[in-house]
Amino acid sequence: MRTKIVAGNWKMNNNLDETKKLIKGIRKSIKKLPLENTRVIVAPTFVNLNSAVKRAKKSKIEVVAQNMHQAKNGAFTGEVSADMLKSIGIKTVILGHSERRTYFGETDAILAEKVTSAIENKLGVIFCFGELLEDRKSDNHFSVVENQLKKALFHLEEKNFKKIVLAYEPVWAIGTGETASPEQAQEMHAFIRGLFEKQYGKGVASRISILYGGSVKPANAEEIFSKPDVDGGLIGGAALKVEDFTAIIKAI
């Protein structure tokens, strides 16, 4: 059975007090939920990671980073390395979010380096990808997604995929209130699984968790998660409220 995952990407939200409060609230609200085979993840901003890790100890919440630099260390002002993340107890990093690609120039080539660095450092990766609205309108969404995956992930060995979770996030659905229909999500997730089967075989394809991201909220989570190739969600806006995030976890 594939691992189910609900991951909250907090982006550039929540100061230290707000971070503590949100972790406390989620901790309490999920305490009694049956979460076998399910990971609950939150990704606060870098400055609050250390505190979040401490506050999430001995709970079902995993704290992960939103990004990292590919280099080991050195003259990269403002950046954070894999080793720094590991030193405060971080075990997983989100890479390739569309906001990193759009606003910070992260290319597929850079992302391939980041993924390699994370794997070499024994970090898990939640790898995000997805097409723009114009790609979908021109019916190029499958080839865009295929290219993103080939360029950033297909240099890896089969065994590396134990550490990788995929997050399909159509850019037109992120933060827009517009969600891919459950059928559109399922269609793309099945396509992605097919690509992995072709490249790495049935084992990897059937084991890898594929999350959907893009305006998931309590009202639509259950229907999206009910699709056979959707193994959970990467949640932005709705991850910032305890009640909404909890409702989405309950939906899984």
Binding mask 100-119 vs ligand PEP (x if CB under 6 A, - otherwise)?
A: --------------------
Q: Which residue's Cβ has the minimum distance to ligand PEP? A: 236
Taking the least distance from each CB to ligand PEP, the nearer of 42 and 234 is: 234
Give the C-alpha distances (Å, rounded to integers) separating 100 from 43, 54, 59, 106, 229.
14, 27, 29, 6, 26
Our finding on whether 184 is near ligand PEP (CB under 6 A) is no
Is there binding between residue 174 and ligand PEP (CB under 6 A)? yes
- In the chain, the amino acid numbered 198 is K
Instruction: Tell me the C-alpha distance between 15 and 139, whole Å.
Output: 41
Q: Kindly name the residue from 69, 97, 141, 189 that is annotated as catalytic.
A: 97
Nearer to ligand PEP, 165 or 205 (CB): 165
Half-sphere exposure of 165 (CA within 13 A, CB side): 29
Of residues 214 and 232, the one with the C-beta less far from ligand PEP: 214
Q: Which of 24, 60, 237, 250 binds ligand PEP (CB under 6 A)?
A: 237
Distance in Å, CB of 179 to ligand PEP, minimum: 8
Site string for ligand PEP, 128-167 (x = CB under 6 A): ----------------------------------------
Q: Would you give the binding string for ligand PEP spanning residues 204-223, x where CB under 6 A is met?
A: ---------xxxx-------
- Our finding on whether 67 is near ligand PEP (CB under 6 A) is no
- CA–CA gap between residue 145 and residue 187 (Å, rounded): 12
The helix or strand, by DSSP H or E, that contains position 101, with its residue range, turns out to be: helix 98-104
- Does residue 97 carry a catalytic annotation? yes
- Which residues, including other chains, have CB under 8 Å from residue 242's CB and lie 6 or more apart? 22, 25, 26, 29
Nearer to ligand PEP, 11 or 86 (CB): 11
Phi, psi angles (nearest 5°) of residue 31: -50, -40
Give the pairing type, strands 61-63 and 92-95: unpaired
Our finding on whether 92 is near ligand PEP (CB under 6 A) is no
Q: Is 235 in the site for ligand PEP (CB under 6 A)?
A: yes
- H helices present in 121-241, as ranges: 133-137, 141-153, 182-200, 202-207, 218-225
Nearest partner of 131 among 200, 65, 180, judged by Cα: 180
In the bound state with ligand PEP, the residue whose beta carbon lies nearer, of 149 and 174, is 174
Catalytic member of 106, 141, 169, 189: 169
Q: Is 169 in the active site?
A: yes
Residue 167: beta bridge partners?
128, 211
- Enzyme catalytic residues: 97, 169
Residues that bind ligand PEP (CB under 6 A): 9, 169, 174-175, 213-216, 234-238
